[in-house]
Amino acid sequence: MTVRVTEVSWADPEGAALRAAQRAELDARYGFADHEPGAPPTAADIEVFLLARDEQGQAVGCGGLRLRGPDSAEIKRMYVTPRARGTGVAVVVLRALENEARRRSLRTLLLETGTAQPDAMRFYEREGYHAVANFGPYVGSELSRCYRRQL
């Protein structure tokens, strides 16, 4: 699948729709809505939010970066629609986020995923992210698995 990735505002309606779809999917996987430790991302703390569109212009993926310090960021709201999974969209979005991080002189990317998302854990490990001790709001969370990649 050919995709085009562009930066959009956090308030972009297509981005909001993808984040809502992600939330619904995760609520169903975990069986409850309170599965994310810490404060949810907002327009005020997301440095960049990217949207991937397919050949027909349909939004099929997204992801953002939340600054965690002067040289690090956390990947937030990385999501690909079910119909676009397995087509390479996730890799394109992840690489675009990494490129945006480099452009902003960030050296470390962090992320958190959950124990009910083995597909996400496999994906990040395959893409060069290494499991680390839970950081920040994820410390002590039995549902969280954290990863890091040096750029």
How far apart are alpha carbons 6 and 99 in whole angstroms? 12
How far apart are alpha carbons 5 and 8 in whole angstroms? 9
pLDDT over 90 at 38, yes or no: no
86 within domain boundaries: yes
36 within domain boundaries: yes
Q: Exposed e or buried b for every residue in 131-148, given b needs 16+ CB within 10 A?
A: eeebbeebeebebbbbbb
30 within domain boundaries: yes
pLDDT of residue 33: 86
pLDDT over 90 at 49, yes or no: yes
Residue 92: CB atoms within 10 A of its CB come to 20
pLDDT of residue 32: 86
pTM, entire model? 0.96
116 within domain boundaries: no
- 90-114 pLDDT tens trace: 999 999 999 999 999 999 999 999 9
pLDDT of residue 36: 84
Domain of 69 in residue numbering reads as 4-106
pLDDT over 90 at 34, yes or no: no
Tallying the residues shown for the chain, one arrives at: 151
88 within domain boundaries: yes
92 within domain boundaries: yes
140 within domain boundaries: no
pLDDT of residue 99: 98
**At residue 97, what are phi and psi to the nearest 5 degrees?**
-65, -45
- 132-148 pLDDT tens trace: 999 999 999 999 999 99
The distance from CA 7 to its chain's CA centroid, rounded to whole angstroms, is: 14
Number of folded domains that form the chain: 1
Q: Are 83 and 44 in contact (CB under 8 A)?
A: no
34 within domain boundaries: yes
SS3 139: coil
**CATH code at 15?**
3.40.630.30
131 token code pair: 């499991």
